[in-house]
Structure 1
């Protein structure tokens, strides 16, 4: 039902939003680097940028969250943190205990903020549909950018029934939570890996400069995304080395026989390690080495050896959205800034809901002459 939300014709107009959100972030960076360079936590910077993009793509709403505090954004960040804390405290797994704790009360308050915001957007949009009539509202959308709420309002099941307001709100919130942290993680780690390997960073930058040469404005367009082969290779190798989601779960629909003869019974829920697959030395020689040329078009890979977005019929529905955003943001960032390791801030991987870094992922950001 939701596949049309990620059709290429729906995704194309989002490139303008990715450009706008990147420009806001980079304007902040320029202010912070007036002295020449500044050390910034990439997770903090990029999470706000992806949340800004998603609010515009999902709700057509601009909270200016990159420039001033937002209760809605603060609630999303807090909920993500509280979920991880709850996982690590066994007694908090029981609702009757959890909601008596300080964390549980904070969780309820943050949930109320998120649910109220989403419900208000959905109800106001539904009111417009009812006032205009569904057919007239649909005609008014032809040729215009449609956000995720619009797509959900159009979605029908196999019986021709539209989604309820509660279903629409649940899907919109799932996309907000599933889409911002993962993309921010992917972008943070690719900038980190390019800071570790300045020769690859320079190669990406040269590719982007050649792509945009002669243009009046620095803007990534949809057609550009397929003309960034080396930058795409660098993103993919970073997703292999530092996958944003480290595990996935599946329920066995039949008995699964393993090579050693053991059988996983039908109905069993299994956790599969994406990180483990991506670091398996029998599949990826020297798995800890960052080598973008693993993803050269002439290089073959084993099936299911690279699964940053999962695989099969239940893979990540938003993977094209995420890759488009990562390519656009990376291109504009390297066009305008050089990133270097902050050697005073050691980097250690920290798998939570997503792949993070302990104490943040700090890089020196230095403005280039181009784009100033």
Structure 2
């Protein structure tokens, strides 16, 4: 005991404490030193492997292009310069932390997007920040887990299922248009599109996913507000390099706000899935005529479909997996479609002759009908409107880039090789604005998508929904909603460029804002003029 007492006395003396602190400091420095050495060796190795690619000028070997990629109008113009200078690809470094290959030509994009799913991975640089929200959903998962989920979810996006959503698209659009009519009646003709259209797409998705009548277009919704806040916080986190580390981020005010909004979204989804699971189980157990009739009368929504989906072994998704897919459906479906709709209306506002041609096409389709309702069969009878939608998706792609990593080296044309583990940033914007692919790429010209022109294009010239095994599973859903909303809007309103009240510019031109989806600085403002039956046939003023 005496020996132990002397040891403890020495240990807790000032000299003992000083020795312990010195020992801990030395150990910490050793850990930091080893981590730094490994980081620098890894950086040197990737720098060597990527030397086959052209590399834009950097601040230094260590810092690389850190701070040069901007989510602004100038950032998109920088991509234009990269495309003009390097034609197809270049390497890019965010300090010693992230090593990228940026690709913006169809011949170089194709091998990356068409690579087998078993060697393709979603990287943590972009998608990792979504994991707390979306879990291990189809968007983020990899390998066999992804393959199984893709097989289980694909039936939920079949044409026969999408037909049931057309009525919902009409209904949600009608609600938005009624709001616009009230604003016009009150003297407000200059309207910001993103606010209205985003609520409309959320309204549609809540009905399609959960059969939930949120009334979010007319009144505030805690769930909808939480989704909007989460989207904004993901963007904010991506732009702050120190917030990429969880142990820092969750201690910040932004991290705490993220957790609060996340609890609202997850609680809502969890309650819906659990109640729907209980209802389905109850119907299976009772198998009464009443329950069977009820099940047949109510059209199945997204949650119903994935709850009932089974794989080849008869296994379905767990409640946790279903919640993740429902959250992903809401996240991926509302912002992207809203962006596509807003930019389509903007492009038609700036090109009145194309707007009028689309309007005449829709009017001819609706001739002889009572009321305005777009039906499933109508979607294939809007060829010119669809050409305009595709050109708008090319010129203003909602998603500017997708990223991938690969578990093995991938060969590109010109003896270039993307090393295993490097992040590939496939620039949809760069590909869609590449002058070697598109003549006058910054001009809105829907005639590019005439059937005769489309036949001569490469398969990867136009990829707004990505391509290959990991393309967007909801692209048919998005295109259907786009056509319904655009057609009904043109029947009821004439569009001209608006004025941002804060900027005070009436030019109709806007500064693009690439975030999770393509937005506009200060919003996207259009002037609306209500059309009645007598004015629908009037020629457009040019």
TM-score over 0.5 for the pair: yes
Aligned to 2:480: 324
Query: Quick check: 1:350–1:358 contact (8 Å CA) kept in 2?
Result: yes
Q: Is 1:170 the equivalent of 2:324? A: yes
- Which one of the candidate residues 356, 359, 366 is aligned to 2:522? 359
Q: Is 1:296 the equivalent of 2:447? A: no
Aligned to 1:2: 153
- Which one of the candidate residues 254, 258, 264 is aligned to 1:107? 258
Deviations 1:258-280 (A, max 9, x none): 33323112443311000001001
The alpha carbon displacement at 1:101 in A equals 1.5
The alpha carbon displacement at 1:181 in A equals 0.3
Residues 269, 370 of structure 1: CA spacing in aligned structure 2 closer, same or farther, 3 A cutoff? same
Residues 306, 143 of structure 1: CA spacing in aligned structure 2 closer, same or farther, 3 A cutoff? farther
Residues 143, 251 of structure 1: CA spacing in aligned structure 2 closer, same or farther, 3 A cutoff? farther
Deviations 1:186-239 (A, max 9, x none): 000000000010000000000001100110120000000000000000000000
Query: Quick check: 1:46–1:187 contact (8 Å CA) kept in 2?
Result: yes
- List 4+ stretches of structure 1 deviating above 3 A: 134-144, 266-269
- Which one of the candidate residues 185, 195, 202 is aligned to 1:44? 195
The alpha carbon displacement at 1:365 in A equals 1.1
The alpha carbon displacement at 1:113 in A equals 0.2
Query: Quick check: 1:75–1:114 contact (8 Å CA) kept in 2?
Result: yes
- Which one of the candidate residues 525, 528, 531 is aligned to 1:368? 531
Residues 54, 23 of structure 1: CA spacing in aligned structure 2 closer, same or farther, 3 A cutoff? same
Aligned to 1:209: 363
Query: Quick check: 2:283–2:292 contact (8 Å CA) kept in 1?
Result: no
Residues 338, 118 of structure 1: CA spacing in aligned structure 2 closer, same or farther, 3 A cutoff? same
Question: 2:444 aligns to what SS in structure 1?
Answer: coil
The alpha carbon displacement at 1:252 in A equals 3.0
Q: Is 1:18 the equivalent of 2:169? A: yes
- Which one of the candidate residues 413, 429, 433 is aligned to 1:279? 433
Residues 163, 140 of structure 1: CA spacing in aligned structure 2 closer, same or farther, 3 A cutoff? farther
What CA distance in whole angstroms lies between the structure 1 residues aligned with 2:160 and 2:299? Answer: 9
Q: CA RMSD in A?
A: 1.8
Aligned to 1:249: 403
Question: 1:257 aligns to what SS in structure 2?
Answer: strand
Query: Quick check: 2:227–2:261 contact (8 Å CA) kept in 1?
Result: yes
Give the TM-score normalised by the residue count of structure 1: 0.96
Query: Quick check: 1:37–1:364 contact (8 Å CA) kept in 2?
Result: no
What CA distance in whole angstroms lies between the structure 1 residues aligned with 2:434 and 2:351? Answer: 22
What CA distance in whole angstroms lies between the structure 1 residues aligned with 2:364 and 2:479? Answer: 21
Query: Quick check: 1:10–1:145 contact (8 Å CA) kept in 2?
Result: no
What CA distance in whole angstroms lies between the structure 1 residues aligned with 2:186 and 2:485? Answer: 24
Give the TM-score normalised by the residue count of structure 2: 0.66
Unmatched 5+ stretches in structure 2: 1-151, 500-504, 536-542
Deviations 1:277-324 (A, max 9, x none): 100111111000100010011212111110000001110000000000
Question: 1:356 aligns to what SS in structure 2?
Answer: strand
